[in-house]
Amino acid sequence: MDTSRDLVRGRACYAAGAWREAFESLSAADGAAPVGADDLELLARSAYMLGRDEDYVARLERAHARWLDAGDVPRAVRCAVWIGHSLLFRGHGARASGWFALGERLLKADGRDCVERGYLLIPVWLALMAGGDWQSGRATAAVAAEVGEAFGDADLVWLARDEQARALLNLGRVHEGLRLVDETLVVVESGALSPIVSGIVYCNTIGFCHDLYDLRRVREWTAALTRWCDRQPQMVAHNGLCLVHRAEVMQYAGAWPAALDEACRAAGHFTRGVLNRIACGQAHYRQGEIHRLQGRPAEAEGAYREANRCGFEPQPGFSLLRLAQGKGEAAAATIRRAVSEHTRELEQAALLPAYVEIMLAGADLDGAAEAARRLEAVAERHASDVLRAAAAYGVASVALARGDAPAGLAAARRAWRGWQELDVPYEGARARVLVALACRALGDDDTSGLELQAARALFAELGAGPDVARLDSLARGGPGTAPGTRGDTGTGPAGYGLSAREVEVLREVVGGASNRQIAAALVISEHTVARHLQNIFGKLGVSSRTAASTFALEHGLL
């Protein structure tokens, strides 16, 4: 009687998404008397949703054996596929391959045409796409989708179609791929898919959209995933990735404290299960980014190191942190290595905006210009509004560094409009600083002042301490106070320890002159100009020509 009650309760809890109670009740029933294969599968899936990967595989292995004993080879093969899938994503490649091979052998010997024939194509398309053979991977997924349709198996159909979308995106067929992504969202939100497959589709598709820098779809899919997670408060398996995605979306939107909270929750509370372990490194990286932007370098470095310990490379944030710390050579070496190591252009695109900034700080204008051009090309090939805005910012920065204020203004305006349309306030404020510098170089001091004030207000609202410091007049007193007022600690003509020659170099930089032009004007070598610039950056606490120009204009150094 107790066993029967536990089974009934376990099945009901499973149907309601009460994963903890389902696992406990079904485990109790199984402990009293071994349950059937169907109930073992329910127990296994409950374990999966709780992030108990070892329990998940152990119960599936028992269900596999039970189905074989009962003569139901297709159901046994289905268990073998999911066992292999779990082992594969936990890094047990040989055992995973063994289960997939066993499934193929059993099905071949059985001879029946069944939907499991399509499920056995999952490891095939995964291997093809992992090797970059997107065309063959797409074709294989298409065959699996046809098998799923023939047998009325929605899980297989939409797992396969989701992978077809990924292949299309990587083949450059963005419009087709995104239409399929959008159709998949409608289906998964309808509840037509099983819990495990729903979670896989949510997390995979957000990853696809993230890799494509499609911020609008990342937001929509993340909102849908959040609603799905909220309906299952006991779920563990997908919550970590959900929180990481939410943290990134919040960071883009300027809700930095909330983003930091979500990233901390992901790293601190959802560590069980393979998906959450993958998310852990990303969560620490997101913490590092917010700490860096808010001006907490020690906390940022600690978070980046934790991300790296979890297997997630903390770039480009770690390089930008080194730049902000005045370690320009270390930043340049690291970002160059990272860019050269990542050969896929969409992976490189994540690094190129930082590469432009770091090269400009080191006076490598040619390197910065080439990176900005590459970013523009990638943005157009993949029709990404995020990359277009980032590329425009890079182009504007290079143009201003070369003294081409009209080109710099046009590109800065494009960047600002792009970020404004995407509702990304921090990047929009940075673009407005470039607009201000371009207007200043063109003699329009009034517009320059308005743009700087608007940017400062946004930085202050966001809590971007380092950016506020660079734009603030510092009239309140202290080490950064404008020269000639109480608290001025400068020793040179302009304060802040600048020498007379450094003031001359800074004046040329504000005017938009390149290193070569400065060298010619002051009759010194380009190497000497670069050395003066590094000294200026260190004394002003900035990391680029743009930031130095802004600081000089705002603090009346010239």
The number of helices, as runs of H, and strands, as runs of E, in the chain is 31, 0
For the CA atoms of the chain, what is the radius of gyration?
Answer: 28
Residue 402: HSE in the Cβ half-sphere, 13 Å Cα cutoff: 17
Would you say 45 and 232 are in contact if contact means Cβ atoms under 8 Å apart? no
How many CB atoms are located within 10 Å of the residue 83 CB?
A: 26
CA-closest candidate to residue 145, choices 125, 159, 135: 159
pLDDT 10s digit of each residue in the chain, 558 long? 467 899 999 999 999 999 999 999 999 999 999 999 999 999 999 999 998 999 999 999 999 999 999 999 999 999 999 999 999 988 899 999 999 999 999 999 999 999 999 999 999 999 999 999 999 999 999 999 999 999 999 999 999 999 999 999 989 898 999 999 999 999 999 999 999 999 999 988 998 898 889 999 999 999 999 899 889 989 888 777 778 888 999 999 999 999 999 899 888 765 565 566 778 889 999 999 999 999 999 999 999 999 999 889 999 999 999 998 888 899 999 999 999 999 888 899 999 999 999 999 888 999 999 999 999 999 998 889 999 999 999 999 999 998 899 999 999 999 999 999 999 999 999 999 999 999 988 999 899 989 998 999 999 999 998 888 877 643 233 333 322 222 333 444 445 677 778 888 988 888 888 888 888 888 788 888 888 888 888 778 788 888 888 888 777 777
CA-closest candidate to residue 367, choices 340, 390, 327, 387: 340
Distance of alpha carbon 98 from alpha carbon 89, whole angstroms: 14
- Where on the phi/psi map is residue 117: left (φ > 0), alpha (ψ -120 to 50), or beta? alpha
- Where along the chain do its domains lie? 343-472, 491-558
Would you say 192 and 168 are in contact if contact means Cβ atoms under 8 Å apart? no
Instruction: Give strand ranges (E) for 53-127.
Output: none
Exposure string of 362-373, with b = 16+ CB inside 10 Å and e = fewer, is: bbbbebbbbbbe
Q: How far is CA 189 from CA 211, 220, 223, in A?
A: 22, 11, 11
Q: Which two tokens stand for residue 368?
A: 């910065």
What pTM, to 2 d.p., does this model score? 0.79
The full DSSP string for 72-91 is -HHHHHHHHHHHHHHHHHTT
| pLDDT in the model for residue 499 | 79
- With residues binned 3-state (H G I as helix, E B as strand, rest as coil), the percentages for the chain, rounded to 5, are 75, 0, 25
How many degrees, rounded to 5, is the angle at CA 133 between CA 127 and CA 137?
60
Task: Report the run of H or E that residue 514 belongs to, with start and end.
Answer: none
Distance of alpha carbon 552 from alpha carbon 543, whole angstroms: 13
How many CB atoms are located within 10 Å of the residue 534 CB?
A: 16
Distance of alpha carbon 374 from alpha carbon 68, whole angstroms: 56
CATH code assigned to 343-472:
1.25.40.10
Would you say 416 and 395 are in contact if contact means Cβ atoms under 8 Å apart? no
Cis amide linkage into residue 257, ω under 30° from 0? no
Q: Which two tokens stand for residue 445?
A: 């001091």
Identity of the residue numbered 452: L
Q: Which two tokens stand for residue 457?
A: 């207000």
SS3 label, residue 325: coil
Residues 6+ apart with CB under 8 A from 407: 395, 396, 399
Domain 491-558: give its CATH architecture: Orthogonal Bundle (1.10)
| pLDDT in the model for residue 273 | 59
Would you say 349 and 214 are in contact if contact means Cβ atoms under 8 Å apart? no
How many degrees, rounded to 5, is the angle at CA 301 between CA 375 and CA 543?
50
**Helices (H), ranges, 362-404:** 365-381, 385-401
Would you say 201 and 165 are in contact if contact means Cβ atoms under 8 Å apart? no
Q: How far is CA 199 from CA 80, 124, 203, in A?
A: 20, 21, 6
Q: How far is CA 533 from CA 438, 505, 516, 542, in A?
A: 20, 7, 13, 11
